[in-house]
Structure 1
Amino acid sequence: MNITQPLDSPTLSQAFNRQAMTYVFAVVGLIWYCFMCAISILGLVAARRRYRSCPASPRRTADSAPGVSILRPLKGLDTNLYENLESTFKQEYPNYEIIFSVADENDQALTVVRALKSKYPDVKASVIIGEEVVGVNPKVNNLMRPVRAAANDILWVIDSGVIVDPGTLARSVDVLTGLPTSRSNKTISLVHHVPFALIDEDKIGSRLEAAFLNTNHAKMYIAINTVGVESCVVGKSNLYRRSDLERVNGSLIPVRSQIASTHEPVVYGLAAFGKFLAEDNMIASALWHELGLRHDLSSDVACNVVGNMSFLDYVWRRMRWIRVRKRMVLAATLAEPFTESLVVCVLGSLSCRTIFGFPPWIFALLHYTLWLSIDLDVYTSIGGNKINSQGMFGFILAWVGREVLALPIYLFAIFGDEIIWRGQRYQVLHNGEARLCTDQKGSRPWFSFRRIGQYHQI
């Protein structure tokens, strides 16, 4: 006689618990997917509102416009250098000076500077030769003397690889000073500009870099700065006051809470940031946290001609960003893979299959259609024009390559602390500080670079 054995109660309980946990994880995954969609759409909407209309500033012809000192640190002949530097001579603003700085009197960039000074004799421009070493960051060392020599409190620090629109300075001053025509109603200490990559050479690394900067990076950068819950600044083109800079020391501790030490004098001002590689981000964070001031974007972009970037140049550049960010904002860096489209797609498709029984392949098709459409719209907003039909195929290939490579590059980068910048090897330390690795026989990346250091902006 066959007797049906009743199912063991613990077994039923375990099966139920597994099913419940699977459902909970699916709900969490779906919530995260919806959150990332919301962030992406926010970036799209904010980019449309800010960059598709670029109003002229009344500062262009105002006699009372505050003075601005434009600081351009140089080293060597960067891609498109003449046009990049010339764009600062063409600013539609009545009261500014330009200070170029180089560490070496034989620097080739000086030839370009002299040619531009001859072409624009009416523009107040000067050159400072010789750096002041205050740390491992060569850009900070190069800027020390220009910051002191600047005739104005408002400083506009622009990387040598950046070209800007003639109206950028006027609109940026509007935002910084809180002119009623500006878009901000906050107390602003720093105005920055979203990077936009221009391609002049059809190289795979250049295309990958442009696909990254002009879509995913721009979308997230604009969205984060629209929400404004934390400092998020890339230092290709930043406008701030020297008087504010002289009050911060990079500790990120509010000024009122800082206790002066009788044993170790605290360094304030630009010199305090020479120990960081990402000095731009640290200066912005210091203004935010130490002084309680905020940042904002103007309606302009910092155009960067990418140049001849190889595939390995691109990979190492992305790794450098990740390793520096890991030491500065660990939690955000650890969460970064979950913001990439591939991981987001996997989470969303598995969640929808568990909850709704939705086929993953259909979900993936819809997901990437949405993701690509958003990125193309952001590209159009910040770039000022749509991609033509001839360039669309190449752009999509580069976009797909960027999305596929994001996770492998991240995984390779997250477990290391060494980076190579301008031919020098550094170890990134706590809080983004860095140490120059003098032992050049130590561990090295598994690949080498012939043109390393050309893409130097961190």
Structure 2
Amino acid sequence: MPYYNWVYFVQLAIVAGVMVILFLLVFSHTMAIIFARSHFYKKVAFEPAAVEAGLPGVSIIKPLVGIDKNVYSNLETYFRLDYPRYELLFCLESADDAVTMVVDTLMQKYPKVDTRVFTSPVRHNVNPKINNMMQGYSAAKYDLVMVSDSGVKMRPEALMDMVWCMSQKDIGIVHQMPFIEQRPGFRNLAHSTHFGCTHAKFYISAHCLGINCCTGMSCLLRKPVIDKKPGGLAYFGRYLAEDFFVAQHFIENGYKMTLSHYPALQDGSGEVRGLRRRLIRWLQLRVAMVPQLVVLEMLAECLVSGAMGAWAFAFLLPSLVNPIVYFLTHCLIWLLADYTLLCSCLDPAEPLMFSRLAFMFTWLFWIGTQPITVVRSLFHSEIVWRDKRFRLQWGGNTVELPGLPVNLSAAKQAV
């Protein structure tokens, strides 16, 4: 083929782009593994003088809606935190909520823990989580506020670690990487495979590169900074992805974010289809806020990048590279890298709850079905969350739609 043929030069340009993508994927995988091994579960401690002077108090806001799996054991971990001064602010949708019994039982079991319960949320904007949390946020008595979802379990030393991270220079937010509490079984492994592989790779890479990746699942915030906005936390209720815009507000005010040494431990016993609905909802939010990022996510999938790489190398070296062999080798290396990353996110003091063979089959399941998740998110602009329906607008603004979801039980499982 002559060099002046424009088609050939277009193909070369595409090959160059594919090579850049493959390099970035290798770089992000390597960076995530190194960071996870060196950062997670690292022991830190305050200087004795700082402890004697008194550590800052923390107001922990727990928005609760209904009974989740293992809710008692999850909530109990917050009554047993190894930290001298904190309060628990449980925010319920109503006094008739079934989770009230769980909270009352724990309050009786741990009477020395400063705990308050709120059962009268006021609608401030479209985000139901913000509306619920505002009860506790308005009553918080400390400048450090922690937002923690109902399904998150916390290690005793995690709050001390997060406050220590907050004490470092210019830090305004300390967030925990979403992960899974390890239990035996396929459901737990399916959740762990997503949060410990694909999600961990992007989350850690974004953190290391200074990209806003904060999630509101479990994070420690400086309340005075939030209160710079009119209405404080209520201002961010106009967005469903309030965590992204809260973090952006901190960045605009000159603060940095950092990652706790302990991941946020979600319960991984829920149905896989429930997790799939969560992933679709998160993708829909990203499409509305940063659509270019979704395109990069699609190109960064194992199967897509493997197919692109097979074509690119076969184009450059047709006599040396077999596209099928390259594609299979690409997937094998990706599998090994994901397994290494998942193990790096686990506590080395705890035994593995799964075999390598079980991980391989679960990984194949996720890799094979991920493109379907992406496609479904692109063709649905309506979001179902809890018992409400929303439509996203460009930029992240949200409009609540009238009427209930068709499948209300499915909506609740997708929280």
Common fold: TM-score over 0.5: yes
**What one-letter code is carried by the residue in structure 2 that aligns with 1:245?**
I
Report what 1:383 is aligned to.
346
Report what 1:309 is aligned to.
271
- TM-score scaled by structure 1? 0.84
Q: Does 1:95 align with 2:57?
A: no
- Cα deviation, 1:16-57, whole Å, max 9, x if unaligned, reads 332233223212211221111111111111111101533355
Q: Take 1:20 and 1:35, find their aligned partners in 2: how far apart are those partners?
A: 23
Any idea what SS the aligned residue of 1:156 has? strand
Report what 1:73 is aligned to.
63
Report what 1:39 is aligned to.
28
Any idea what SS the aligned residue of 1:189 has? strand
Contact 2:74 2:151 in 1 (8 A): yes
Report what 1:404 is aligned to.
368
Report what 1:241 is aligned to.
222
Instruction: Give the alignment partner of residue 178 of structure 2, picking from 176, 195, 198.
Output: 195
What's the CA shift for 1:224? 0.9
What's the CA shift for 1:288? 1.4
Report what 1:5 is aligned to.
none
**Residue segments in structure 1 that go unaligned for 5+ positions in a row:** 1-10, 179-185, 249-266
Any idea what SS the aligned residue of 1:296 has? strand
Choose 386-395 or 349-358, whichever is displaced more.
386-395
Q: Does 1:212 align with 2:202?
A: no
Which runs of structure 2 are paired with 1:125-164 in the superposition (5 Å)? 125-164=115-154
Q: Take 1:193 and 1:155, find their aligned partners in 2: how far apart are those partners?
A: 14
Report what 1:425 is aligned to.
389
Contact 1:57 1:171 in 2 (8 A): no
What's the CA shift for 1:168? 0.8
Closer, same or farther in 2 for the Cα pair 1:451/1:367, shift >3 Å?
A: same
**What one-letter code is carried by the residue in structure 2 that aligns with 1:392?**
R
Closer, same or farther in 2 for the Cα pair 1:440/1:64, shift >3 Å?
A: closer
Q: Take 1:417 and 1:148, find their aligned partners in 2: how far apart are those partners?
A: 33
Q: Does 1:50 align with 2:39?
A: yes
What's the CA shift for 1:308? 2.8
Tell me the matched-pair count.
Answer: 411
Q: Take 2:218 and 2:311, find their aligned partners in 1: how far apart are those partners?
A: 41
**What one-letter code is carried by the residue in structure 2 that aligns with 1:326?**
V
Closer, same or farther in 2 for the Cα pair 1:222/1:280, shift >3 Å?
A: same
Q: Take 1:130 and 1:449, find their aligned partners in 2: how far apart are those partners?
A: 23
Q: Take 1:389 and 1:71, find their aligned partners in 2: how far apart are those partners?
A: 31
Report what 2:290 is aligned to.
329
Q: Take 1:118 and 1:315, find their aligned partners in 2: how far apart are those partners?
A: 37
- Cα deviation, 1:394-414, whole Å, max 9, x if unaligned, reads 222221111121112212211
Report what 1:454 is aligned to.
413
Any idea what SS the aligned residue of 1:76 has? coil
Q: Take 1:226 and 1:234, find their aligned partners in 2: how far apart are those partners?
A: 15
What's the CA shift for 1:12? 5.3
Report what 1:437 is aligned to.
401
**What one-letter code is carried by the residue in structure 1 that aligns with 2:207?**
N
**What one-letter code is carried by the residue in structure 2 that aligns with 1:352?**
F
Any idea what SS the aligned residue of 1:70 has? strand
Closer, same or farther in 2 for the Cα pair 1:439/1:389, shift >3 Å?
A: closer
What's the CA shift for 1:361? 2.4
Any idea what SS the aligned residue of 1:381 has? helix
Contact 1:30 1:347 in 2 (8 A): no
**Residue segments in structure 2 that go unaligned for 5+ positions in a row:** none
Any idea what SS the aligned residue of 2:82 has? coil
Q: Take 1:392 and 1:12, find their aligned partners in 2: how far apart are those partners?
A: 50
* Sequence identity (%): 27
